[in-house]
Structure 1
Amino acid sequence: MTSWTPILEGRTGPLYRVIADALADDIAEGTLSVGTRLPTHRDLAFRLGVTVGTVTRAYAEAEKRGLIGGEVGRGTFVQGQRPPAPPPLQQNWSAPAAGGGPAPIDMTTIRPEHAVAVQALRTALSELAASDRLASLLGYAPHAGLAPHRAAGAAWLERQHRVSVSPDSILMTTGAQNAIAVALSAVARPGDVILAERLTNIGAKTLAANQGYHLEGVAIDEHGIVPEAFDSACRRLGPKALYLVPTMHNPTAVVMPQARRAEIAVIARRYGVILIEDDVFGFMVPDAKPIQAIAPDITIYVTSLSKSVSAGLRIGYVVTPPDLRPRVEAAIRALQYSAPALPAEVASRWIQDGSADRIVETQRVEDLARQRLARSILPVEAVYGHPAAQHIWLVLPEPWRREDFVAETRRRGVVVTGADAFTVGRASAPHAVRIGLCMPGTRDEAARGLRAIADSLEAPASAMLSIV
């Protein structure tokens, strides 16, 4: 380990950035060579007379710039200045701000970066234009999807989601939202009880309200649905299905342990309840075995490419028990007739030539980088969720109330989603917000949004306005 101590005199700005700048200069000048092991956070803090938290933020800033990297159990090492990544596609989905000012930073939505996918799309469309496949892609596809597209889907699920099924077991949908609608339509009718986590995906809430299902929330803890609460709800309510997101739960970003998944499957089988497993984030956690792999006979598994590859392709996959397949296919026919063949062809080509895997790997790197960024800016004790998730769950300290905090961040130019949007029924919503880390077009924009959120947390006077 080097005895490196940065020279900070003559530099201006926040102390953690000053340290990161000094590190960058010493690497550029050759004072620190690639592979050099840096001092521990505590050791460097002692030498500089600063807090450990300041050094932690400085190292996080340097890692964001590609200067250093950490290895669990070994330490932090100089990596050198890497070539800059290609700039992400600049998109601003926010409405213009009132008075002609800059649009707010929208951190309400969870979507992947698009930059790498753009070139892959250009290539795929060029190849399609020169192929003899175009005519076959302009007609109606079978309700379950074209056979080559389902075969590509089977390969994708095995590679990225650890679901091993035959192509005949897969049905194509237009994204995960449509897949959830199809699954619910296949097992329930208006007025039937559907269970969900007490905090659940907004899309599931919208579907239940639109289709007339009676959605009931089940208590959750730091590991997901509480088995005893699920058992009690099954006995009392006689539900048709349980909709759940066990991997990277939306909104809390919790990953349910394997033992808990097995326990939920046992309870569902005991009461004849169908599990609708939403695994759109499963690609981010390679060791999280889906419930479908544990209990395929009672699980309708749904996922899509929306969070991993491209939201705009609108490609979803459903895997269903054999006895439910006719009902699921009938629901697809009623709700959409069939998934559009052209985007399914693009997705299948990406899966076959490896483009989809490259996009996913880029997305994983970006998600991890933005999580590190968030945890370097926001107070660690308030941030919840898996460190690879595309979103974080921010639990607000006293005296903040969620509605006041949402208003305060909006006043500062950042839009986040309050916990009430995810709360099922009339249950009391926690004082927390979900922050989508990958909606901003660049890391710099994400950092500006996160700093505004951090500044909001430190403005307790605003939290009391609602009671004045």
Structure 2
Amino acid sequence: MTNWTPNLEGRAGPLYRVIADALADDIAEGALAVGTRLPTHRDLAFRLGVTVGTVTRAYTEAEKRGLIGGEVGRGTFVQGQRPPATPLPLGWPPAGETSAGETGSGSAIVNMTTVHPEHAVAVQAFGQTLVAIGTSGRAAALIGYGPHAGLPDHRTAAAAWLERQHRVQATADSVLLTTGAQNALAVALAAVARPGDVILAERLTNIGTKALAATQGYHLEGVAIDEHGLVPDAFDSACRRLGPKAVYLVPTLQNPTAVVMPAARRREIAEIARRYGVILIEDDVFGFMVPDARPIQTIAPDITLYVSSVSKSLAAGLRLGFVVAPAELRSRVETAIRALQYSAPALPAEVVARWIQDGTADRIVATQREEDLARQRLARSILPAGTVYGSSAAQHLWLVLPEPWRREDFIGEARRRGVIVTGADAFAVGRASAPHAVRVGLCMPRSRDEAARGLRALADALDAPAAAMLSIV
């Protein structure tokens, strides 16, 4: 981490913007190189004698300008000032050519920290759909206050979508709309738990779940996982000892390990939850990628709050999520939606509903599946055998590091070679020890060519064990 401290003398305006301007100038002048890790919010606030909130606003402003980026648990890094990216078709340009935008040139950082699919079909359809909406006479319904759970026709379309692409048992009454899956999770937890309550999760879990538990005061406890997901005996023991209100899990393409839980394991987990009166919160954002994976919600619909979104399948920026709730919990879920957001914005829901009805959504998903599978094949052809873990249907992979690599050393070596990945420690719940592994997001690079460049750099790093020993004294 750099000791960067901005020079704020002679600058006018709100303090957070002054800090962001100083950051932009230092990047432009070469004082901060691309890939440099910036001080934490608290450290920089101490150096400047300002509040942590001011630094947070400054970093947020810099991120909006495309200067920096990062992920919870990893830090904030310089990305350099970029021109607005022109949306490109998946897999374009062909191998051998170079894409522009986020990871444009051969010298740019390849950011593989997140799962961030791009959709040329969605980009094209979006403009056309907005024009159609603008002339449809629906404006009053879309820009005014709507029902807390969403407009009835949007919920009907969502139920049809979830049944078709995720194989969920859903009706318009059982589906409540949210602002993305993270908000759906917040709503589901608020409906069944209070600050201080114990929530179980897989020992390695979604970073957003950790952040939510920390901010809302839930006591998050990790449960052992294996190559099939949550371990039943460990789950049973945790339920018996801790009396949890709920368990959060990702049975299909688990985040971060990309594991798909077998059907028999899903039934066993549902039986244990029922035995102890524990609510299952099932995150199925990746479910569309594995057509034969039956959600736990279909096994135990009366004790499951099913959450999902269109972020990984259609378009992340639409921020439309879903909670499928049993009848006994719907009023509590709706109350939580009202408290946290009042209602999900109707305009994105209208876009998605139209795409579901006219087949655009299915075409986008088909394109996304094809690209995800192609990038997995690419990864497995480049990375050493035995290091790639998880399903070949995932938008990410779990890279298990061979001896003598330690994850922190490998992350540093990967960055030195121009690639950013996320270490296992970012996903570990509480003080649980994290394995020497990293998550590699395959869809954030703008093209297969960029993805291949990042993957080759990772393979080269794995093949350089001497670098792993440099930090050992």
Which TM-score band applies after superposition, normalised by the shorter structure?
Answer: 0.7 to 0.9
Q: CA deviation at 1:129?
A: 1.9
Q: Which of 108, 129, 137 in structure 2 is aligned with 1:124?
A: 129
Alignment of 1:28-177 (within 5 A): 87=92, 92-93=101-102, 102-177=107-182
Conserved? CA contact 2:375–2:442, under 8 Å: yes
- The normalised TM-score by structure 2 is 0.79
- The normalised TM-score by structure 1 is 0.79
Conserved? CA contact 1:405–1:463, under 8 Å: yes
One-letter code aligned to 1:285: V
Q: Which of 220, 236, 242 in structure 1 is aligned with 2:241?
A: 236
Q: Which of 418, 430, 440 in structure 2 is aligned with 1:413?
A: 418
1:384 aligns with 389
1:369 aligns with 374
Q: CA deviation at 1:102?
A: 4.0
Q: Summarize the Cα distance change of 1:197–1:385 in structure 2 as closer, same or farther, 3 Å threshold.
A: same
One-letter code aligned to 1:292: Q
Aligned to 2:318, what secondary structure does the other structure show? coil
Conserved? CA contact 1:218–1:225, under 8 Å: yes
Q: CA deviation at 1:464?
A: 1.2
Q: Summarize the Cα distance change of 1:277–1:150 in structure 2 as closer, same or farther, 3 Å threshold.
A: same
Aligned partners of 2:249, 2:443: CA distance in 1, in Å? 23
Aligned partners of 1:104, 1:85: CA distance in 2, in Å? 19
Q: Summarize the Cα distance change of 1:405–1:174 in structure 2 as closer, same or farther, 3 Å threshold.
A: same
Q: CA deviation at 1:90?
A: 6.5
2:271 aligns with 266
% same residue: 76
Q: Which of 213, 216, 237 in structure 1 is aligned with 2:218?
A: 213
Conserved? CA contact 1:87–1:115, under 8 Å: no
Aligned to 1:167, what secondary structure does the other structure show? coil
2:463 aligns with 458
Q: Which of 287, 295, 311 in structure 2 is aligned with 1:306?
A: 311
1:18 aligns with none
Q: CA deviation at 1:103?
A: 3.3
2:430 aligns with 425
One-letter code aligned to 1:227: P
Aligned partners of 1:85, 1:174: CA distance in 2, in Å? 25
Alignment of 1:269-308 (within 5 A): 269-308=274-313
2:183 aligns with 178
Q: CA deviation at 1:164?
A: 2.5
1:76 aligns with none
2:320 aligns with 315
Q: CA deviation at 1:87?
A: 3.6
One-letter code aligned to 1:165: A
Q: Summarize the Cα distance change of 1:118–1:90 in structure 2 as closer, same or farther, 3 Å threshold.
A: farther
- 2:344 pairs with 1:339: yes
2:22 aligns with none
Q: Which runs of 4+ in 1 moved over 6 A?
A: 88-91
Q: Which of 441, 445, 449 in structure 2 is aligned with 1:444?
A: 449
Which segments of 5 or more consecutive residues in structure 1 lack a partner in the other structure? 1-83
CA deviations on 1:328-375 (whole Å, 9 max, x unpaired) are: 111100111000000110010001000010000000000000000000
Alignment of 1:393-408 (within 5 A): 393-408=398-413
Conserved? CA contact 1:86–1:115, under 8 Å: no
Conserved? CA contact 2:90–2:371, under 8 Å: no
Aligned partners of 2:349, 2:355: CA distance in 1, in Å? 10
Q: Which has the larger radius of gyration?
A: 1
CA deviations on 1:381-405 (whole Å, 9 max, x unpaired) are: 1101111110000000000000110
Please report the RMSD computed on the Cα atoms of aligned residues, expressed in angstroms: 1.7
1:349 aligns with 354
Q: Which of 358, 362, 370 in structure 1 is aligned with 2:363?
A: 358
Q: CA deviation at 1:91?
A: 7.1
Aligned to 1:168, what secondary structure does the other structure show? coil
One-letter code aligned to 1:226: V
Q: CA deviation at 1:140?
A: 1.2
Aligned partners of 1:322, 1:133: CA distance in 2, in Å? 30
Aligned length: 381
CA deviations on 1:131-158 (whole Å, 9 max, x unpaired) are: 1112221111110000010000011001
Aligned partners of 2:169, 2:259: CA distance in 1, in Å? 24
Aligned to 1:246, what secondary structure does the other structure show? coil
Which segments of 5 or more consecutive residues in structure 2 lack a partner in the other structure? 1-88
Alignment of 1:181-200 (within 5 A): 181-200=186-205
Aligned to 1:200, what secondary structure does the other structure show? coil
